[in-house]
């Protein structure tokens, strides 16, 4: 039970880090946290690799996002799956858009790096 709590806490912090404006705008930080073999299946229906994310993410407008219903699952040594929901907020801090998200994190060179991410639009929370 304690191990699951600690796993959830550690990976929630990593996922929240990726939503922080200063990280999303930093090519240097993105290069560290995103694995070279990264693939994203975006909520837009498009597929992206690491370089495409690094080229586009810093240019996107900042949108406040809140993570909900977070869970991390240890798949094997050095591999973790995260599953959660995200609410995007309006300028008035009202939720306007929801998505279901999942990520796979791998341990490389003593650092956790995201190697896969998928966002699926959701009508409700």
Main-chain dihedrals φ then ψ at residue 46, nearest 5 degrees: -95, 155
Whole-model pTM? 0.91
Q: Would you list the DSSP string of 23-38?
A: HHT-HHHHHHHEEEEE
pLDDT value of position 124: 66
* 59-109 residue pLDDT tens: 998 888 999 999 999 999 999 999 999 998 877 777 688 899 999 999 999
Helices (H), the chain: 2-19, 21-24, 27-33, 50-56
Q: Which residues, other chains included, contact 114 with Cβ-Cβ below 8 Å and sequence gap of 6+?
A: 14, 18, 33, 34, 35, 38, 103, 104, 105
Number of H helices, E strands in the chain: 4, 6
pLDDT value of position 25: 95
Write down all domains in the chain, each with its CATH number in brackets.
2-122 (3.10.450.50)
């Amino acid at each position: 039970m304690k191990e699951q709590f600690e796993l959830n806490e550690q990976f929630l912090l990593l996922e929240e880090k990726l939503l922080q404006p200063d990280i999303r705008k930093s090519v240097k930080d993105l290069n560290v946290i995103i694995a070279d073999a990264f693939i994203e299946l975006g909520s837009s229906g498009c597929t992206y690799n690491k370089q495409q994310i690094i080229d586009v993410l810093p240019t996107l407008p900042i949108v406040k996002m809140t993570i909900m219903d977070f869970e991390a699952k240890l798949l094997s040594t050095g591999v973790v799956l995260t599953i959660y929901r995200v609410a995007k907020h309006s300028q008035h801090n009202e939720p306007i858009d929801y998505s279901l998200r999942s990520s796979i994190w791998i341990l490389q060179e003593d650092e956790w790096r995201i190697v896969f991410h998928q966002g699926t639009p959701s009508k409700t929370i």
